[in-house]
Chains A and B, each alone.
Chain A
Amino acid sequence: QKEVEQDPGPLSVPEGAIVSLNCTYSNSAFQYFMWYRQYSRKGPELLMYTYSSGNKEDGRFTAQVDKSSKYISLFIRDSQPSDSATYLCAMRPGAAGNKLTFGGGTRVLVKP
């Protein structure tokens, strides 16, 4: 079993819909959680960064972390065709180390 599980998709939604992405993890030591967007043949771009449990909002993006359930989510409101990409969750422990553990990525297609 992988440390971080993420549905590979593809997830296809119409333009304007809400995109809902999530990851589950097994390591209770994870404290820092990130979401990245990666376009084809490009490096990942940091979208959201959260520490411990809670919600964080930035523009059209909302990240949620539920450490008790070991479950994190990313919501994209008013999705646009330009949001079509692969979304990667990543996480790492606190003081114990700084290596990121990635989910496998979810491919998202926003259709005009």
Chain B
Amino acid sequence: GAVVSQHPSRVICKSGTSVKIECRSLDFQATTMFWYRQFPKQSLMLMATSNEGSKATYEQGVEKDKFLINHASLTLSTLTVTSAHPEDSSFYICSAMGQGGERSGYTFGSGTRLTVV
């Protein structure tokens, strides 16, 4: 089945620095990837939709300049949290639409726990 690899699984960074999270589709090409944020005991909150070769579409209230998304190839999308602050600490998860297109479920990465100190 479709596999999405997300790296790193956990990262601790100092306030003011930037952190890059990678999301790779291992055995299929993903023209569309999604980035979510999840707070403890809450559901997933969609941050942005990433399309290969074009600019990401951000959800309302998500700062484009803070959460930079790049989808340069059909198998890789990255999320960079710039000038991170403690309030950016969260669980970030990516997902990709399966290779079957519209009639596929969406596969998720294993998530990245970001702690900003």
By a beta-carbon cutoff of 8 Å, the part of chain A in contact with chain B is 32, 34, 36, 41-46, 49, 51, 88, 90, 94-95, 98-100, 102-105
Residues of B within 8 Å of A, CB-based: how many?
24
In the complex, what residue of chain A is closest to B113 when comparing beta carbons?
A41
Interface residues of B in 85-100 (CB under 8 A from A): 91, 93, 95, 97
Interface of chain B, helix or strand or loop or mixed? strand
Contact of A44 with B105 at beta-carbon distance under 8 Å, contacts A98-B32, A102-B44, A104-B43 already known: no
Residue of A nearest to B94 (CB): A43
Give B residues with C-beta under 8 Å from A.
Answer: 4, 6, 32, 34, 42-44, 46, 49, 91, 93, 95, 97, 102-111, 113
Q: Describe A's contact surface by its main secondary structure.
A: loop
Q: Which of B42, B43, B46, B108 has the most CB of A within 10 A?
A: B43
